[in-house]
Amino acid sequence: MKLIVGLGNPGKEYLLTRHNIGFMVIDSLAEKHGINLNRLKGNSATGKGVIRGEEVILAKPLTYMNLSGRAVKALVTEFKVSLSNLMVIHDDLDLDLGRLRLRREGGTGGHRGISSIIEKLGTGDFNRLRIGIGRPLRTQEVRDYVLEEFTAREETEVEEVISRAVKALETFLVEGIEASMNKHNR
């Protein structure tokens, strides 16, 4: 069984913000494969289904970004998922808007949600799908930037990267992290 967790913040006011790109990818993957995210497990909205023959749990933590580790730890424990079968999707300031990068392991990269997960799991040895949101202008605070919605000019690029992220996740589910990295990291 694989567990795919998209990071974000619950609530309508955060729905289309940069920090919620992980939620957006989960919603797109769930819609494409007819998985309802209507069960509450481990402080997360979850849905269980089959994608390309692989059993999967999709999850959106409801703990707010900076406390994502609580939810991820609870899900890993509840579903008895090995960390090699965990994929965490999150926004990344260090990647330009529209870029994505898969990794097998790593540090926090300054991301508080990832920091929380590493703290609660006791390791950084889990798969990540980083989705670029770019950096704010020098005059704008990072906190304000990640909590603002994408602009109308950015919408097409956001839709395209979400579509590419869904394909990368499908590859991960069927062929594993190496194949997904080889096919989708560019």
DSSP 54-67: EEEEEEEESS-GGG
Q: Give yes or no for residue 186 having a pLDDT over 80.
A: no
Cross-strand bridge partners of residue 46: 39, 59
- Strand 54-61 versus strand 100-103 pairing type: unpaired
Please calculate the CA angle 131-21-44 and round it to the nearest 5 degrees: 120
Q: What distances in angstroms separate CA 153 from CA 157, 158, 159, one per listed residue? A: 8, 10, 11
Q: What's the CA dihedral at 163, 169, 175, 178 to 10 degrees?
A: 100
Please calculate the CA angle 135-23-125 and round it to the nearest 5 degrees: 80
Residues sharing a CB contact under 8 Å with residue 15, sequence separation 6 or more, in sequence order: 23
Q: Is the dihedral of CA 19, 150, 10, 89 positive or negative?
A: negative
Q: Give yes or no for residue 73 having a pLDDT over 80.
A: yes
Q: What distances in angstroms separate CA 110 from CA 2, 11, 107, 116, one per listed residue? A: 26, 24, 8, 11
Catalytic residues: 19
- Helix then strand count (H, E) for the chain reads 6, 7
Q: Which of 119, 118, 115, 102 is nearest to 178 (CA)?
A: 102
* Residue 16: per-residue pLDDT: 94
- pTM of this prediction? 0.96
* Residue 110: per-residue pLDDT: 85
**Candidates 3.20.20.370, 2.30.110.10, 3.10.129.10, 3.40.50.1470; CATH matching 2-184:** 3.40.50.1470
| 79-135 confidence digits (pLDDT tens) | 999 999 999 999 999 999 999 999 999 999 889 999 999 999 999 999 999 999 999
